[in-house]
Structure 1
Amino acid sequence: MPVGPVPAEGEEEGRLLLRFAAPRDPALIAKWISYQVINTERQDWRRGAEAAYRYRQREGHLDVPYEHVEAAGAFPLGRWLSDQRRTFRAGAMTGERAAELEELGIVWDTADASFETNLGAARAYHELHGTLAAPRGAAILDVPVGQWLTNIRRPGGLGKDQGRARRRAAALAAIDPDWNPRELGWTVDWQRHYAYLTQLLESGARLRDIVPGVTRHGEDVGRWLATQQRGWDRLNEEQQRRLAEHGVKKAPRARRTTTKTAAATNPRAGGEAFQKGLEALTQYTEREGRLPGRAVIEVLPDGAEHRTGIWIGNQKARRDRLDQTQLAALAALGVDWAAS
């Protein structure tokens, strides 16, 4: 009749090895230690699987944070699952254990799971805005989708694995073929305004009515459109083609007599310095579709650097000394205080 608790699987064999082993027999002692290690590993697996089951029943998923400790038994479930993923990737996990974890809903590749979550947010953003050219600060469904899109547009942003990167790019293209406008030769900001222009026209707006001040989703599409027409020659062929499909044409060349008159009537304010600043500001807004920040330094065609952001601030400080022609020129480029 056995005395005491029934030994666990493998435990009795280990005790017998020690009972009949010669004192200090290194081979048998090593074998006994091996039995103990195997037994402990089995116990650890069972505790982990049970903790995973409890978590899945309670939370409805098995996307467990790495630092999570399951309250029952204070089991480090997040770390344990991470160890199982590593074992699985190394090909060292049995099929039975892999099947058990898959039945519980383990996420083998957390990177793919994160991508799918963000892709869902991108899909929701596109349904609302009709484009994936989101500004960096855009968020939807509590996901910072603008920053995520910015990150994945960077070289290597879709991951180092080329097959996975192609699949991810295809998933994004299925939502918006122009999700990465940098590959087309223009900025995200340009693509967003172009998409909004398209939407305005498709909703029945007439091109001639889309003037500065006409907005969509908070973006001044009218001002952007005027900038494209003035800077037509700086657009690439595909940009010109897309705009031309909407009936957009290059703005007629402005007559220079007004500028000469302004310079003659107010030589200090309307002289070469002002014209160079206006040239730099025009160049920047036509390229970026917005006003420059204070730190912006624009490089002019002759190679000269112009502190365009500071220049705008200086013009504002001396607004009362600018004539109406100069104010109108600034207002046409989107400088709000010049129009007031």
Structure 2
Amino acid sequence: MPYDHKEGAYPLGQWIAEQRRAYGAGQMTGRRAERLEALGMVWDATDAAFQENLAAARVYYEQHWTLCAPRTATALDRPIGQWLSNLRRPGALAGHPEREAALAAIDPDWKPAWPVTWQRHYAAVRELLAEEDTTLTELLPGVTVHGMDVGKWLARQREHAVWQALLPQQRERLEQLGITALPAPKGTPAKARGGAGSAFERGVEALRQYRLREGHLTVPRTHVETLPDGTQVKLGVFLSNTKTRRAKLTEERRKILAGLGFDWAT
């Protein structure tokens, strides 16, 4: 309850704040505490704010089918998008596993290891296909949901290069909807596709591994990633050099990087 809330002329918000102060200072009898708890009293104001935002998150999910909201999104007059974005930061919920569990109960993919924009599009496609009268053949470029061109997005995910850049978990979600990759373009030189064992391919593999573990792609320049076969990739340097030379990248490689979530690759 907001501190300045009143019931009629009575300053109820201030009164509740005083009860929390008295409880925290050990100045409240057990009987009074029990009576307030029976009404749903939350002694920790921080937890109370979390519960209020959580209620707004439920409303947002019901309307948008995902908690990967844009930062500007609101629900119940609360800045739910910014709130969720803050909670997705590393360590934001450290020491509060019950809060993370509460968010996961609403949306298991509320904090994905891939870009939240990808998850928003996927959730929209998933819900459209859940409708009995919607098929994949109808989701063509130009079909929009909540301002997103999901048809264009879907076509892009099926491109061979983009599909290969997706994490296994992303491909699994798409395949569960009956979405598969298009065949690789015929006659595309192996070098343009990355080439087995090439430095670019190793860098992409290291990026996927880093993102899956860390949940983001903000890589320190000095970071070195070790692949399962023991190969060490100077990932920070690779990423910095690739961004600097993006104008010289082939279209295929730009698509792979864009599929990983690097907007600058496009």
TM norm. shorter chain > 0.5: yes
Task: Report the alpha carbon displacement of residue 243 of structure 1 after superposing the two structures with TM.
Answer: 0.9
CA contact (8 A) 1:213 1:222 kept: yes
- Report the alpha carbon displacement of residue 122 of structure 1 after superposing the two structures with TM: 0.8
Indicate whether 1:157 and 2:92 are aligned: yes
Provide the residue aligned with 1:207 in structure 2.
136
Counterparts of 1:145 and 1:192 in 2: how far apart (Å)? 15
Distance 2:172 2:39 in 1: 53
Q: Which residue of 1 aligns with 2:259?
A: 286
Please list, as runs of the form range in 1=range in 2, the aligned pairs for 1:91-102 lying within 5 A after superposition: 91-95=26-30
Separation in structure 2 between the aligned mates of residue 229 and residue 138 of structure 1, nearest angstrom:
29
Partner Cα separation in structure 2 for residue 59 and residue 178 of structure 1: 44
Equivalent position of 1:111 in the other structure: 46
Where 1:193 maps in the other structure, the secondary structure is: helix
Q: How high is the TM-score relative to the length of structure 1?
A: 0.51
Name whichever of 279-288 and 199-208 sits farther off.
279-288
Q: 1:175 to 1:274 in 2, by over 3 A?
A: closer
1:191 aligns with 2:164: no
Query: Residues of 1 paired with 2:136 and 2:30: CA distance?
Result: 63
Residue 222 of structure 1: which of 151, 173, 181 is its match?
A: 151
Amino acid at match of 1:285: A
Contact kept? 1:63, 1:106, Cα under 8 Å: no
Question: In structure 1, what is the Cα distance between the partners aligned to 2:9 and 2:43?
Answer: 18
Structure 1 counterpart of 2:70, which letter?
Answer: P
After superposition, residues 115-194 of structure 1 pair within 5 angstroms as: 115-158=50-93, 160=94, 162=95, 165-181=96-112, 185-194=113-122
CA separation of 1:93 and 1:221: change in aligned 2, threshold 3 A: same
Q: What secondary structure does 1:211 align onto? A: coil
Secondary structure in structure 2 of the residue aligned to 1:196: helix
Q: Gaps spanning 5+ residues in structure 1: where? A: 1-51, 65-76, 258-272, 299-307, 309-340
- How far apart are the structure 1 equivalents of 2:167 and 2:88? 20
Instruction: Give the superposition deviation at 1:219.
Output: 0.8
TM-score (norm. length: structure 2): 0.63
Cα drift, residue 256 of structure 1: 5.3
2:114 maps to amino acid: W
**Deviation of 1:89 (Å):** 2.4
| Conserved? CA contact 1:118–1:143, under 8 Å | yes
Q: What CA RMSD, in Å, does the superposition of the two structures yield over aligned residues?
A: 3.4
**Equivalent residues of 1:232, 1:240 under 8 A apart:** yes
Kept in 2: contact 1:62–1:107 (CA 8 A) = no
SS at match of 1:132: coil
Residue 237 and residue 104 in structure 1: after superposition, are their counterparts in 2 closer, same or farther (change >3 A)?
closer
Q: How far, CA to CA, are the matches of 1:247 and 1:145 in structure 2? A: 32
Instruction: Report how far residue 127 of structure 1 moved.
Output: 1.1
Larger Rg: 1
**Alignment CA distance shift 1:59-1:250 (3 Å):** farther
Q: Percent identity?
A: 46
Deviation at 1:96, TM superposition (A): 6.5
Task: Tell me the amino acid that sits aligned with residue 54 of structure 2.
Answer: L
Measure, in 2, the Cα distance between the counterparts of 1:117 and 1:140.
11
Q: Match for residue 253 of structure 1?
A: 184
Rounded Cα–Cα distance in structure 1 between residues aligned with 2:180 and 2:139: 14
Q: Does the CA contact (< 8 Å) of 2:69 and 2:81 recur in 1?
A: yes
Is this contact kept in 1: 2:165–2:257, CA < 8 A? no
Query: Could you tell me which of 1, 5, 13 is aligned with 1:63?
Result: 13
SS at match of 1:195: helix
Question: Would the alpha carbon gap of residues 205 and 60 (structure 1) be closer, same or farther in structure 2, given more than 3 Å must change?
Answer: farther
- Note the residue ranges of structure 2 that are not aligned, 5 or more in a row: 189-245
* d(CA) in 1 for partners of 2:11, 2:91: 30
Q: Highest relative contact order (Cα 8 Å, sep 6+), 1 or 2?
A: 2
